[in-house]
Amino acid sequence: MKELQILLLKEKIEKLTGKRVRLQESPQDIYNIIQSTKVDENGSWVVDSQDFQLKYDDKGDFMFSWIYMKTSKFRGTDVFKALLMIAQKEGAKEIHALAAKGKTNDVLANGYYTLIKWGFVPIKDIDWANKLLGTQYQSWDEAYSDSKFFELWKAKGKEVYVTFDTTPGSLSMKTFSKYK
C-alpha cells in the first residue's frame, strides 16, 4: 500500500513540475538485492535482478566485470556503491576491472570512461596517458584533479585495465565521492 502511495505521489509531482522524478533506494537496499540474488557461475558472482545485471569475482583479487542497467530504477553509480560496500566488508583493498570500450557481448561498453570518472585508475603509468592525450601531467592525482582530463579521456581514452583503491582518502575514493 505504501509503495502505491509513493508511486502516485511521484506521478503527481512529475505532472505538476513537468520533470522526471527518480526515487532512490539506498546503497544498503541495493547491497541487500545483490547479497540475496547472487548466483555462483563458474567462480564468479552473477546478479540478475529485474533492474540490473552485475558480475564480479571476490575469490582472490576482487574483480569487477560489469554492470548492465535494465531499467532506470537505479543508477550504475548506486549499484557500484553497493559493490564497493561488499568489497570493503570482505577486506578487499582494491577492485580490479577492464575498462572496456566498444562492443562487448553485443552491448556498447563505456567503462573506459565511466570507470575513470568513478575513480578507477589505469594500471599504466601517467606517461602512457600523456602520450595518448597530449598532456603533461606529473601524476594520476594531478590528472584527476583537472576537469579537462575527463573531457580529454572521453574523446581519446582507450580500453585499459584499471584499479580502484578502497582505502579511505585514496584517489579512487576521493574521485568517487565527487561523482554525481
Q: Over the stretch 88-145, which tens digit does the pLDDT of each residue have?
A: 988 899 999 988 887 766 767 778 889 999 999 999 999 999 999 999 999 999 999 9
Residue 17's CATH number: 3.40.630
Identify the band that residue 32 occupies on the pLDDT scale cut at 50, 70 and 90: confident
Rounded CA gap, 15 and 35, in Å?
36
Give the number of domains in the chain. 1
Structural domain range at position 125: 2-178
- Which triple of cell numbers denotes residue 46? 552473477
Cβ count within 10 A of residue 77? 15
- Which triple of cell numbers denotes residue 164? 580502484
The closest alpha carbon to 120, from 160, 148, 90, belongs to 160
pLDDT value of residue 99? 85
